Structure 1
Amino acid sequence: MNVALVVLDTLRLDAFREEFGWLPGHRFEQAWSPANWTVPVHGSLFTGHSPGEIGVHAKHQSLDCPEPTLAKLLSKVGYRTQAFSANPNISPIFGFDRGFKEFYGSYRLNYMEREVYDWQEFISEHQSQGLARYVAALREILSSDIATLPSLRRGLDIKLRDLGVRSDPDDDGAKRALSLIKSTQFDDDEFLFCNLMETHAPYDPPREYWTTEWDDDRSWTTFAALLATITGHPPEGATPERLKQAYDDSVRYLSDIYENIFEELRDSFDVVITLSDHGELFDHHSLYQHAYGLYPELTHVPLVISGNEIHNGNTSTPVSLTDVFHTIAELTGVQAGDSNRALISEGSVSEPEDRSIYTEYHGVSHQNRQRIINAGYSPDPYDEKLFGVVDAGGYGYQTMEGFNSPAKGTTDLLNLVKSYAESLDNREYGSDNKLPASVKRQLEDLGYA
């Protein structure tokens, strides 16, 4: 049994429904993410536990919990485990390579190598020295322990980009993922994980997908979302309409490139699970991107399971993305999941059990806190834990203003949230704030810091 798990990072449910009609399989129309952003969601996908249970969230972003990961469990029973990630958060630096025999990344991950020279920091500190600064940089590179050729290549990339010669790939990694899949000889007992970032900020698809002729300078799509929310001032030019248009262009590109990727996967994999980890906000609720809250635009996500024996269909019973872990365990025979939570059993789609589904928000990361404080504002109102719940009565969730819920069942949902928050055995870890400068640069580029 070969299984592929593909995360279409930051793809909103409404955008998926608009552009991914071509994707065959069984659709879970009430799929809910356990959190509002990438790290806690992937921690849950890889372990089958909630973010609070494993302690992987804004306050601790490394996957170093004692719970075994799906890839590790599969490796122990003879699976070849491979991963491709375009998201710097889902990378070996944060421990998300646990159990994978091979872990590939986009250019963003390549630039995060600890031994590569941090050109951006150097340039910012020596801006006034002109060409002489490059001689000093070369001397520093040659006299230190960092990798010489990768560092020089990175410096050349930055200079060419400054001159208007684009040296980075013209997408966020999907073409590289497609190339890797095409060139890999898959055998039996294969598990492949992919994270594709085409619809994540900075919303920069290949030029032929642009619906408006914008300047090559797309810096207005790159900003710290929570700081922009607090100040009420995203970068000049970053209107909600303009951001949404750039996002929609990226969605159309992702749909096209993923259709090619999916066709390649179908040739080698019995089951392909496609999902989004969270959505995106464009001044909805006076918020941007996905830095804060448990709003349904963030937590109600696409989930489709495709396979030769899986017929097209729909399920409206609420399910959680944490169920994906248990589904893959059931498919592969790994004795670690809860078979009652498997969405597929004995080759066919199961009717999910009727239960409450919970969502969690664990505050502001250290990097975001520091940036907000440095700008002269307080992140504290956004740094409180929030919880939400889905059941037959609908979705209810906490905000800093109170509890949002459907008109019916408000009290019942609020009581469920309170009980869940009190019973959750949150695992607390020390903060992992000391990141290499090269990692911080990539996170800043994506609006995470």
Structure 2
Amino acid sequence: MSAEHAPAVPPRAAAAAGGQASLPRKIAAITIGNGLEFFDFAIYTYFATILGKQFFPASSPMTQLLLSLATFGIGFVVRPLGGIVIGSYADRAGRKAAMSLTLWLMAAGSAVFVVVPTYAQAGPLAPCLLVLGRLIQGFAVGGEVGASTSMLLEYAGPRNRGFFASWQLFSQALSTLLGSLVGLGLSAALSPAQLEAWGWRIPFLIGLALIPLGTYVRRHLDETHARADVRGGKAAGTPVMAVLRDHRRKVVLGVLMTAGATSSNYIALHYLTNYAVGVLKLPFSTGLWASLLAGALQMVLAAAAGMASDTWGRKRVANVARVLLLVAILPAFGWLSAAPGIGRLLAVAAILVVPTVFISVSTVTMITEVFPRAVRATGLSIVYGIGVSIFGGFAQFLSTWLIELTGSRLAPAWYVMALGVLALWAVTRSEEQAGRALD
């Protein structure tokens, strides 16, 4: 057999050859790089109210917030495209090459935010440049998740894939935690006028400066997917064609499961900040404390959620957590809106995050392990890109719009519940893969 057709070295064999300490280092390298990339993408949401004032002059603060959140959602529109292009690249050239590419694309997107002029300085050109930065970031993240999650699962064995996949969610929680800490630090160190004038650029500058760190730590990863033979790849068709031809049912079910997971994730971990500030009129720092708590809880619970799905199965864990969230979310939003305050805000954040973590970890594991190695990164990227771009990226905008339309502060809860019911059905129709060989 030629070197071009040789299968990828089994991750466990590679780990054994490199010493027992090598596998934790590889997990850390994936987690750190992924967390840094999501930090650059996520910090926008913590400053959405300020960015609305700087880039979208409007008659009311609610309209400014809606336009700012719509721009946040635009970053998700190109995720499916990024997932298709970079996911296919990961299935052909390897996971490492794809993850290096996404890091530098994210750096380019963050650089836009560091230098972009405000509306007062450049007029309509300013929001156009803001949208461009979000599009570049969204394209990068769309390819990052498929490559990095595929690599995590390919390092794992049949009985610990949920635990390994949980580090994907850990890294996203890490970005939430770091973004909240940066926001709280800036709100304490700067006056509101300074924060609105130039302080909001600092988090994007920090994220840009950290990208080389992510590139460095990923240099030590062992490839888990052999480079595909070019002629063989053409004969068999592209990974995208193979996914859409042979795995359509998995894609549909995966998108529905992702819709339920990502809607609850973005409402619980990100939207509560803007909900507290823009809807409940609480101070900016108060809203950030909710995101800080949410990120910390997800970091603490992610590994436990992964191990639970390895022990009791993905479907059981996802369904039990989903039912608990469906029962709790409406009373939680009603209780918070009745008497807004930091105590209730933090309590609601905890109530929503705990089941959301178990849902998210089980879901990302399920939708990754159902695809074969040859198209795994592409399949996951397509599912994740479509599900998150439609139902997660615009979750904050749609929730705020529904509040404005209906006059009800409970609209975000109804949004999560509607998608949660669809996800519950999709999970029941999917196959349990816990404990089975991956390939």
Per the normalisation by structure 1, the TM-score is 0.27
The answer to which structure has the higher strand fraction is 1
The answer to which structure has the higher helix fraction is 2
Per the normalisation by structure 2, the TM-score is 0.27
